[in-house]
Structure 1
């Protein structure tokens, strides 16, 4: 089977097609025939250091079950499933049984795969790190990104008042999601406009940019959740949490919930690019990660 990855490490290494042996599942594993792969920034960043080569990137996959380990029950051949796993830039992906989530009827594979990494991240931010409660005022910085849009929608479902910080050009998109107030940081200073407003401030901008503004927007005893590892010094009694991997809420449980919400139109995702499941498609996807783009990038086959 073909996989797509790197034979050499380093940022300039080209993506290549790699012929691999067909996968064979252990007793508790399942082999998927890949249908769709969601492309994430982490796929492009992990190309330095001591790596096992060849390196096959990817974490988000939707596929059909093509082989089943001897102890697997309840998941017949041909079942359409999704998973957060590894080495998904490939025609076949091997997954532990307990990491698989069957897709609900009528949920398109493109929608399902596009929500895996951003959805898991957003759900754990809202329900675990921020622990958003009804009636709270939640400020989302980076609200127009894939994670930010889902944070907005999930916080609103919990009964929070959501305020957004994003570029002016994303105003209509965020208005459609029901944000109560939008502060365009390229037009206004959010630290002034939203000073001391947030019970919860969630910063999903790359690397948790500009912690001083997060502190300015937060109430005295607010919770701040950020991609940054720390905050500047402050006299406020802030509860600060850095977003990091956690199994406190399992990825499979999160995906089951997200897929139900997508199926019933209670949340929405945006697929901006659907590229062919070829070396050219994966290469173009990697290139798109390095420039400004709108919506999720998905590489997919046509069934």
Structure 2
């Protein structure tokens, strides 16, 4: 079957290992289902896979793609949940020490077909297109968990989103606005700040800018280059929710500020199947939709990967089959 895959790990030149070609289709084992993929979205996780991060060398070649939306053999339209836990685990699957993601142990969604555990195929609301559904499973689910599960923020409070053009950041802006929070965002360029405003940010700022007032919560996916600004932007007792560090993890801790102002720092990773189902219902009820920066045929996947690698995203990059 037609697929986009990583042939081997390549830390220095990840796109050198990106292959567009044929891979064998798999038959689903007991308890799993086959999904005909209609759309699949790109994540930074796919770049890390190409670099060999989070995957063993003997797992290559690996079909890329954590997220997708498609059709079961019986015609049911589904959105895929990419967190695959131990069947014996009872509870939040993001805390399962044996959990894995599509593309870490199991082949991913950048193909004509993908197999997943039956519970990982979540019914897609008919109001969402396949392209929109394909953006939900990682970026939007991550944002949903950060905001509604981890932050504790309430309508009327103020949130700051750092780096406002990526998939998680654009989702946070839209979710926060729909939930009744005052949303502020930073962006490196005027066009990125304009995008944030168009998605619902009440005010936008250059990175590191002094804010009109301190905020109740900061949402971090950037890391090293924004961490100090995030700490300085918080009210006493405020919270930073962190789900990534695209600019590097070696941020200065500034522990004196953390303990003196009683700041809270919460880590957040992906989300659960039930949270994905809740997110899909929230999107259906509110009418908000993911920002799609680029929609490309799967055959042109390399162009989408270059957009992400160069940091030029303006929402989600989605491939269609």
Match 2:76 to one of 74, 79, 89: 79
In the alignment, which residue of structure 2 is the partner of 1:274? 295
CA deviation profile, 1:49-90 (whole Å, cap 9, x unmatched): 642121221100111113xxxxxxxxxx12111103321122
Deviates more, 1:144-153 or 1:114-123: 144-153
Match 1:202 to one of 216, 219, 222: 219
Match 2:228 to one of 187, 206, 212: 212
TM (normalized to structure 1)? 0.83
TM (normalized to structure 2)? 0.78
In the alignment, which residue of structure 2 is the partner of 1:73? none
Aligned partners of 2:9 and 2:17 also within 8 Å = no
- In 2, distance between residues paired with 1:157 and 1:6? 38
SS in 2 for 1:121: helix
Match 2:254 to one of 219, 228, 232: 232
SS in 2 for 1:193: coil
CA deviation profile, 1:197-247 (whole Å, cap 9, x unmatched): 11112223x2353322112111121112233566322132111113334xx
Question: How is 1:151-230 mapped onto 2 (pairs within 5 angstroms)?
Answer: 151-166=172-187, 167-185=189-207, 189-190=208-209, 192-195=210-213, 197-204=214-221, 206-207=222-223, 209-226=225-242, 227=244
In the alignment, which residue of structure 2 is the partner of 1:2? 2
- In 2, distance between residues paired with 1:23 and 1:144? 36
Matched positions, count = 279
Structure 1 unmatched runs, 5+: 67-76
Cα deviation for residue 17 of structure 1 reads: 4.2
Cα deviation for residue 18 of structure 1 reads: 5.1
- In 1, distance between residues paired with 2:164 and 2:305? 23
In the alignment, which residue of structure 1 is the partner of 2:63? 56
Q: Which runs of 4+ in 1 moved over 6 A?
A: none
1:289/1:106 Cα in 2 relative to 1: closer, same or farther (>3 Å)? same
- In 1, distance between residues paired with 2:198 and 2:238? 27
RMSD: 2.3
Aligned partners of 1:132 and 1:158 also within 8 Å = no
Aligned partners of 2:5 and 2:18 also within 8 Å = yes
In the alignment, which residue of structure 1 is the partner of 2:37? 34
SS in 2 for 1:297: strand
In the alignment, which residue of structure 2 is the partner of 1:72? none
Deviates more, 1:288-297 or 1:227-236: 227-236
1:287/1:198 Cα in 2 relative to 1: closer, same or farther (>3 Å)? same
1:287/1:180 Cα in 2 relative to 1: closer, same or farther (>3 Å)? closer
Matched, 1:14 2:31: no
In the alignment, which residue of structure 2 is the partner of 1:286? 305
